[in-house]
Chains A and B, each alone.
Chain A
Amino acid sequence: MRDTEDMDAELEFDEGEEPSFSDPEDFEDDISDSELLGDILREKPQEADGIDSVVVVDNVPQVGPDRLEKLKNVIHKIFSKFGKITNEFYPEADGKTKGYIFLEYSVPSHAHEAVKNADGYKLDKQHTFRVNLFTDFDKYMSISDEWEPPEKQPFKDFGNLRHWMEEPDCRDQYSVIYDSGEKTGIFSNDVKEPIEVEERARWTETYVRWSPKGTYLATFHQRGIALWGGEKFKQIQRFSHQGVQLIDFSPCERYVVTFSPLMDTKDDPQAIIIWDVLTGQKKRGFHCESSAHWPIFKWSPDGKFFARMTQDTLSIYETPSMGLLDKKSLKINGIKDFSWSPGDNVIAFWVPEDKDIPARVTLMQLPSRNEIRVRNLFNVVDCKLHWQKNGDYLCVKVDRTPKGTQGIVTNFEIFRMREKQVPVDVVEMKEGIIAFAWEPNGSRFAVLHGESPRINASFYHVKSNGKIDLIKMFDKQQANSIFWSPQGQFLVLAGLRSMNGALAFVDTSDCTLMNIAEHYMASDVEWDPTGRFVVTSVSWWSHKVDNAFWLWTFQGRLLQKNNKDRFCQLLWRPRPPSLLSQEQIKAIKKDLKRYSKIFEQKDRLSQSKASKDLVDKRRGMMDEYRTYREAAMKMYQEQRPLRLELRGGVDTDELDSNVDDWEEETIEFFINEEIIPIGDL
């Protein structure tokens, strides 16, 4: 056909008419421009090009043309840190810059960096830059005028997080890590034997921690921390912090601080992160040079503040904003150590000698920053701060070298926090100090002093009349650690690790030694939160054999020996503070006889039940065994002829079955030796 057409065309051409090159009238172009010219079209300049790399800077000084050049230089210097600035626009009005400018970078990521780092930059007293992405304006403009309430997230019910407190027999729980870390178990403490509540393999990769009020169990993993709780120990929260090594809780359990040495970058401090426990949000990140003294951040007892010490600086932050209190840190030259009172928002810190200025200990009230007490100390070598559990007393252990001598002498400066003007009393110690511990809830303290093997234990009472009395001293003790009961009055003096586990149970109300015992190679001592029981344990981390934990009463009576394969760690679950008021507690103590009757009855019933269980179990085992033995004996009797044959007819089934075999023999036994001198012969 084509040939014919062409021929027709040619014919037409020959006739002198120009052929028509236009499309036939009903031709529809079904090929679009983008298909044909896509690559060229793509390069067509777009209106929105470059918008993602533009930032808007507000609060820029409004200057006239004379200072404009200088302003541009300053801006350039500040903002070219984040990338190459390809374009800038300084809108003007009335001869001055408007106060906001536009900067364009070559790529959007530089714009993001600028926003992140320059937003909030203080140029001078009156000008703090606000930096935003240009595209943000679009976003904020397109927010609908109608406010819609945010969608409700489904309520994640974790059950009663305090479930363990409702245990009818008031058993405390404890976590046990064994099988060299492979298994973690939660047990309920019963006098007869631990009751297993939960046991999971590989629950944690290193160790576990309870939160301060016992609500959560924290486990460690390569990717972060997980929190578990409730009746079934469901996972409540997860915090992603790669390579996490250490954690700390705020006393109110609202915040968790995690540390990982891996995550720190110069621009993005991620070594220490503070998280909100309930929402799981990252609240703030911090740098950390070394984790040697964990926790780096120390919390005030009510959780409102947390502080850390760096070179010559004390930085105090407030929650929930996570910002510096009063927007600045405290400059304290030479600050060596600080700690919060466990009872009030008071920080104690000490500064060593500086040329003519003596060393001093300062007590500072927060948030007012009032110095409520300052104490000068002379010839100080070192200080250690020891707070009593309720913040009633502060003991500063001062090591000093008195003028003219070579040796180190130790004093205890006791600050009475509850008295006006915070009076300070001094107790001089003649020997080197090995350990010091305040009585929780009380006004006594115990000191271990001396040098091995002559170690002495002294007990002091801080009296309200201004005196500090030495109540008693025990000498030649095998101890290197003091463990007070959390309720006070009782304590355990322990010689851990190198001292082979010597234990002494003391009642400090009259300073009597209730019991002396030993748990060979014990590495840890843990009181339960009520002060009724003590657990001593030999951890696999310090000793590879005999790994076990033993349960004692507070008086030192051994109740249980629990051997656990490669046992590593036992931690009691803390209890939240009592909900009863002081009056209610007093009333219960008065009426104790009535309550104890009920419990004694229960105890007797459960004891007899335990023996009944054991007896039943034994009966079952014995019956099984006897049945087996009967069957075996039957077969034995059936085989008797074979036995006689094998031994040539001699009956050897019983020892006395062959009486002919018996011989009578006289044997001599050496009884006694006596030397009788006969006299002269």
Chain B
Amino acid sequence: MKPILLQGHERSLTQIKYNREGDLLFSVAKDQFANVWYSVNGERLGTYNGHSGAVWCVDVDWDTKNVLTGSADNSCRLWDCETGKQLAMLETNSAVRTCGFDFSGNIIMFSTDKQMGYQCYLNYFDLRDPQQIEDNQPYLSIPCSESKITSAVWGPLGEFVVAGHENGEINQFSAKSGEIVKKIKEHTKQINDIQTSVDLTMFITASKDCAAKMFDTTSLDHIKSFKTERPVNSAAISPNMEHVVMGGGQEAMEVTTTSTRIGKFEARFFHAAYEEEFGRVKGHFGPINCVAFHPDGKSYSSGGEDGYVRIHYFDPQYFDFELEA
């Protein structure tokens, strides 16, 4: 089936996310805008205007009421999803790299970059306490002196946040005390993206060391590894099939020396249990920066360096395909 092409950004995409029910797709890019689209036909609903720098991250709460974005303009903003109105702005000292609502939608977390003398912090705000928002005072602010946080997701019950760092480490930060509850180091280079499975029991990390790995969210046990020859920018776990999708690219300097033939940047599908690649989807004109599965598993989307978001609906053969076993 032909993919739906979303042309709404002027610069490369940084993150895309579906809401819980999957009818909306949120996309943010380096062009300062956050867009929301109907995933069924690609029609754009609207734009969240306000940021004055590249928008690095986006999240939507479980009820599709609020939208959270983090940007290089040193702010994390809360928006009303339906109207597009900015509800709150939390100023920071450095760029906001990753953000998210917890399972209940009441607590938000975001991390800030290590920049211009400021350390990397992981901040927690409780939205039920308007005072915190007004005073711009998180109830918990954890400094990370070593490697900065590059990606983070909430645990299944809002008790901890799993964060990936620039040096490949993965840490579990408690949302109550701020302590590091667990830590592991399975990757050797920066963790570009972390995404959870739809039931939040597992998550997959995408790393610059050309591999993506699957872990159990609570125990941080390393379950599976998926190896490629290019740095992996983003990975996602299918909600209904035993598949994962990965999108990647190469070092910016080497882009001109590799195949620049049209549309050769591919999203790669691996079998989650066998760790074997079984399919590729071409189409992007540049490295793929973010991928996401629709919550019903019948389609997936990818956002690229080329500024396009492509929504692909799977053919029936995709669901029937099986590797011999």
Residues of A within 8 A of B (CB): 520-521, 543-546, 548, 563, 611, 614-615, 618-619, 621-622, 624-626, 628, 632-633, 635-636, 639, 642-643, 646-647, 650, 652-653, 655, 661, 667-670
Q: A545-B229, A615-B325, A639-B157 are in contact. List 14 more A-B contacts (CB 8 A).
A: A520-B258, A544-B254, A545-B258, A611-B324, A615-B324, A624-B273, A628-B223, A632-B216, A646-B104, A647-B63, A652-B62, A655-B296, A667-B38, A667-B41
Contacts of A633 in B (CB 8 A): 201
CA distance A544 to B250 in the complex (A): 11
For A669, list chain B residues within 8 Å (CB). 41
Of all chain A residues, which has the CB nearest B271?
A618
Q: How many residues of B contact A (CB 8 A)?
A: 37
Q: Can you identify 10 A-B contacts, CB atoms within 8 angstroms?
A: A546-B229, A548-B229, A618-B274, A621-B273, A625-B273, A639-B157, A646-B104, A650-B63, A655-B296, A668-B41
Minimum C-beta distance from A415 to chain B (A): 45
| B189 interface residue (CB < 8 Å to A) | no
Residues of chain A within 8 A (CB-CB) of B257 are: 521, 543-545
CB distance from A289 to the nearest CB of B (A): 38
- Across chains A and B, the number of contacting residue pairs, with CB separation under 8 Å, is 79
- In the A-B complex, the 9 residue pairs with the smallest Cβ-Cβ separation, listed nearest first, are A646-B104, A625-B273, A618-B325, A632-B201, A622-B273, A618-B274, A646-B103, A563-B229, A621-B273
Contact across chains for B157 and A642 when beta carbons are under 8 A apart? yes
In the assembly, what is the distance between CA of A406 and CA of B47, in Å?
Answer: 70
Whether B242 is near chain A, meaning CB under 8 Å from some CB there, is: yes
A364 vs B64: C-alpha distance when bound (angstroms):
91
Residues of chain B contacted by A635 (CB below 8 angstroms) = 201, 218
Is there contact, CB below 8 Å, between A643 and B103? Answer: yes
Q: Distance in Å from the Cβ of A650 to the closest Cβ of chain B?
A: 8
Quick check: is B138 within 8 A (CB to CB) of the other chain?
A: no
By a CB distance below 8 angstroms, the chain B residues around A520 are 258-259
A625 touches B254 (CB 8 A): no
Q: What residues on B are CB-neighbors of A661 within 8 Å?
A: 21
Tell me the minimal C-beta distance from A612 to chain B in angstroms.
10
Is B40 on the interface with A (CB-CB < 8 A)? yes
Q: Pick the contact of B40 from A548, A621, A639, A667 — CB < 8 Å? A: A667
A646 contacts B157, CB within 8 Å?
yes
Inter-chain contact B272/A625, CB cutoff 8 Å = yes
Q: Mark B147-164, 1 if CB is under 8 A from A, else 0.
A: 000000000111000000
The complex places the Cα of A661 from the Cα of B63 at a distance, in Å, of 11
CB atoms of B41 and A546 under 8 A apart: no
- Which residues of chain A are within 8 angstroms of B46 by Cβ–Cβ distance? none
Say yes or no for B268: interface residue by CB 8 A criterion.
no
Tell me the B268-320 residues at the A interface (CB within 8 Å): 272-275, 295-296
One digit per residue, 1 when the CB lies within 8 angstroms of any chain A CB and 0 when it does not, for chain B 1-42 equals: 000000000000000000011100000000000000010110
Instruction: Please measure, in the bound complex, the distance between the C-alpha atom of A548 and the C-alpha atom of B275, giving whole angstroms.
Output: 20
Instruction: Kindly state the separation between the CA atoms of A548 and B323 in the bound complex, as whole angstroms.
Output: 25
Q: Given A646-B103, A667-B40, A655–B229 Cβ distance below 8 Å?
A: no
Which residue, of B201, B275, B295, B323, has the highest number of chain A Cβ atoms within 10 A? Answer: B201
Contact status A652-B199, CB under 8 Å: no
* B:27-70 near A, CB below 8 Å: 38, 40-41, 62-63
Beta-carbon contacts under 8 Å, B178-219 to A: 199, 201-202, 216, 218
Report the minimal beta-carbon distance from A669 to chain B, rounded to whole angstroms: 6
- The residues of B that contact A624 with a CB separation of less than 8 Å are 273
Q: Chain B residues near A626 (CB, 8 Å)?
A: 273
Q: Which listed residue, B22, B63, B325, touches A619 by the CB 8 Å rule? A: B325
Which residues on the A side are within 8 Å of B105 (C-beta)? 647
Give the distance in Å from the alpha carbon of A207 to the alpha carbon of B157 in the complex: 56
Cβ-closest chain B residue relative to A520: B259
Nearest-neighbour CB distance to chain B for A339, whole angstroms, equals 38
When chains A and B are docked, how far (Å) is the Cα of A628 from the Cα of B223? Answer: 9
* CB neighbours of B254 from chain A (8 A): 544-545
Contacts of B275 in A (CB 8 A): 621
Most buried by B among A624, A639, A642, A655: A655
A633 to B202 alpha-carbon distance, docked (Å): 11
B202 → chain A closest CB, angstroms? 7
Task: Tell me, rounded to whole Å, the shortest Cβ–Cβ distance linking A322 to chain B.
Answer: 49
Output the nearest chain B residue to A663 by Cβ-Cβ distance: B23
Give A626 to B199 CA distance when docked, in angstroms. Answer: 16
| The one of B41, B223, B259 that contacts A625, using a Cβ cutoff of 8 Å | B223
Complex CA–CA separation, A546 to B228 (angstroms): 11
**How far apart are the CA atoms of A639 and B218 in the complex, in Å?**
12
Given A632-B216, A635-B201, A647 and B325 contact (CB-CB distance below 8 Å): no
Residue ID in chain B nearest A631 by CB atoms: B216
Which chain B residue has the least Cβ–Cβ distance from A626? B273
Residues on A with beta carbons closer than 8 Å to the beta carbon of B218:
635
Smallest beta-carbon distance B11→chain A, Å = 25
Q: Is the CB of A636 within 8 A of B325?
A: no
Which residue of chain A has the shortest Cβ distance to B104 in the bound complex?
A: A646
Output the nearest chain B residue to A642 by Cβ-Cβ distance. B157
Q: Residue of A at shortest CB range from B272? A: A625
Task: For A632, give its contact among B38, B158, B202 (CB under 8 Å).
Answer: B202
Q: Which residues of B contact A639 (CB under 8 A)?
A: 156-157
A669 to B257 CA separation, bound complex (whole angstroms): 41
